[in-house]
Chain A
Amino acid sequence: MPNLRISGLKVGYGRATVLENLNLAVSPGELVTVLGANGAGKTTLLNGIMGLAPPRAGSILLEDEQLVGLRPEQLVARGVVLVPERRELFGNLTVEVNLRLGGYRTDASSKSLDRIYSLFPILAERRKQKAATLSGGEQQMLAVGRALMAGPRLLMLDEPSIGLAPLIVQEILRVIGQLKADGLTIILVEQNARLALSVADRGYVLEVGKIVLEGTSASLSTDPRLSQAYLGGAADYAAARDQVYVD
């Protein structure tokens, strides 16, 4: 069971520093969400953990092992797996090959393939189809499935709900809930705070590269600062929703 401790983390691209002195902890079996607006640094945080944007300072300890400085493939070998926001699928390869490649490190057996197909039955139907021909929702399921093939100990999901129909979002949330029930440690990055808090144990709120708020899901859901900034007042939410449907 992994235990993730991030302290003093600094991540950036080129000359820009996006995150500075960031501290975050995830306990074994916990589902922690990181909330924040566009550009708050949520994706950068995950890229920093994953070694895609190598941290410039600070430490990331998984159990007692230092993760800073490891390459992405070394992190995957240690069970740290990311489902990126852009999904990064192999469009001209079939669904099944995409999944098999997800298990590249683990010599994935057909048993783990069957497990993914039972989690997302639609992928089994589409197994011979090229990934690029899938719908957005199916692509997201494939991205999650591919990550699970790696046998993660810590699964990180970057905005899995983005651009998807509510029904598909429910489907993906259901699977996340099931993974959590199986004891997987999960970091869920979301812009949709209401959604994320409905499944998470705890949450952090990120604003311009800094953590401004943290707490249990229950306390965050009722926190006036969060509800103003991200959840919107109940009336506002209804208004916004009506607006969307009118358009």
Chain B
Amino acid sequence: MFDTLLFLLVDGITNGAVYGLVALSLIVIYTVTRVVNIAQGEYVTLGALSFSSALSGSFNLFSWLVAGGLAAFALLDLADRRLLSSVRIRILLIRSVWIAGVLLTAFAAHKFPGSYWLAVLAALAATVSLGTLTYRLTVEPVSGASPIVLLIVSVGVYMVFHGVAVLIWGAEPQSVPPVVDGGVSLGPVFITYQSLWICGFAVLAMAGLYMFSERTLIGQALQATAVNRVGAQLCGIPVRFAGQLSFAIGAGFSAVSGLLLAPLITANYDMGFPIGLKGFVAAALGGIVEYPTALVGVVLVGLTESFSAFQISAFRDVIVFLMVIPILLWRNAVRPPEAHEH
């Protein structure tokens, strides 16, 4: 009995760490851009799948597509005739280095198949860039639109990502190796090293994001944009840079959680969506704005999932998604809507 309990606890916390990373991504993106990003789970999928193909050393179409998108937007930005020439040179430099980074990591992974960290780098460069591209292509043109419009746009983005993932990688699941094989026995329970990596990365990511937003001017600018968009604009903070940055952070965290989770559940084009939704359930506990409350949420969701999977496995997801109703009721009771919308 105690063994089972301990096992479910470990399982729940590992899942919770993954949802935590996704919840964190959702919160960063929502606070800065007001997008409730339904497509967030797709970055989990894309992270896992692009990692898997980078590791196998096969031609990485995904990276090339992303690099092409980056190049197109770089040209568009440079075409703005009103740019100060110093800014133009800076744009040209940063974008070239960026595009080169995406292509070089993809090329290096192709040259040295099987190199774990090279493949992580390639997958991360491509997904993070895709995050910024998604912001430029789908959010910026409708900036200032109501949250419901932004949400619907993100549903569209989800559908496109989902389809593209099938097109590029097919429907077959891909097996992905863990960082290190094996695990450690904690009394009667065996904990894989991969679970520890996931939890460790989640903690690191949260601490890193906290330090970034409290200690650096850019991090504070991101917070400022989240609190007061007009005020941020008046300080000269480019809000579209803030938006791109939030999407980049969100995409990166989710992609890493995907490639770390993949060894435990195999990577396939369908893996991300439910993870994205569970991250959302957890984030909803904090109104998609409060990190600490969302952390309670992810532990709650992770444990509920593992325990319900053990008791009545057919209803595992149903129970987790049902949680959103009491969560929203509770949220409404402690923080009525009019209190946090301006």
Contact = CB atoms under 8 A, between A and B. Distances in A.
Nearest to B239: A73
Contacts of B239: 73
Given A101-B220, A101-B221, A88 B228 contact: yes
A42 to B, nearest CB: 17
Contacts of A241: none
Interface stretch (A90-98, A203-211, A226-234): A90-98
Interface string B211-241: 0000001001101100110111111111100
Contact of B223 (A82, A93, A146, A150): A93
A189 interface: no
A52 B233 contact: yes
B234 A88 contact: yes
A76 interface: yes
A69 B81 CA distance: 11
Nearest to A76: B236
Contacts of B230: 52, 84, 88
B42 to A, nearest CB: 30
Given A91-B227, A100-B217, A70 B234 contact: no
Interface residues of B, number: 19
A71 interface: yes
A159 to B, nearest CB: 15
Nearest to B238: A73
Contacts of B217: 100-101, 104
Contacts of B236: 72-73, 76-77, 104-105, 150
Contacts of A71: 233, 238
Given A88-B231, A100-B217, A101-B217, A73 B237 contact: yes
A102 interface: yes
B82 A89 contact: no
A167 B234 CA distance: 27
A69 to B, nearest CB: 7
Contact of A72 (B82, B224, B233): B233
Interface residues of A, number: 30
B235 A89 contact: no
A73 B233 CA distance: 6
A77 B224 CA distance: 18
A89 B234 contact: no
A81 interface: yes
Contacts of A72: 233-234, 236
Interface in A30-82: 50, 52, 66, 69-74, 76-77, 81-82
A66 B239 CA distance: 22
Interface in B233-292: 233-239
Contact of A100 (B82, B220, B227, B231): B220
Nearest to A107: B217
A147 B223 CA distance: 18
Contact of A101 (B82, B84, B237): B237
A212 to B, nearest CB: 29
A93 B237 CA distance: 15
Nearest to A147: B234
A101 B227 contact: no
A76 B236 CA distance: 5
Interface string A217-231: 000000000000000
Given A101-B221, A104-B221, A90 B227 contact: yes
A197 B234 CA distance: 26
Contacts of B233: 52, 71-73
Interface string A102-127: 10110000000000000000000000
Contact of B224 (A50, A76, A101, A105): A101
A50 B231 CA distance: 12
B234 A90 contact: no
Contacts of A90: 223-224, 227-228, 231-232
Contacts of B221: 101, 104
A93 B220 contact: yes
Contact of B234 (A69, A81, A91, A92): A81
Contact of A76 (B220, B228, B234): B234
A52 B230 CA distance: 8
Given A90-B223, A93-B223, A101-B237, 19 more contacts: A52-B233, A71-B238, A72-B234, A73-B233, A77-B84, A84-B230, A88-B230, A88-B231, A90-B224, A90-B228, A90-B232, A100-B217, A101-B221, A102-B235, A104-B221, A104-B237, A105-B235, A146-B235, A150-B235
8 contacts: A73-B233, A73-B237, A76-B235, A82-B234, A87-B231, A101-B221, A101-B224, A150-B236
Interface of B: 82, 84, 217, 220-221, 223-224, 227-228, 230-239
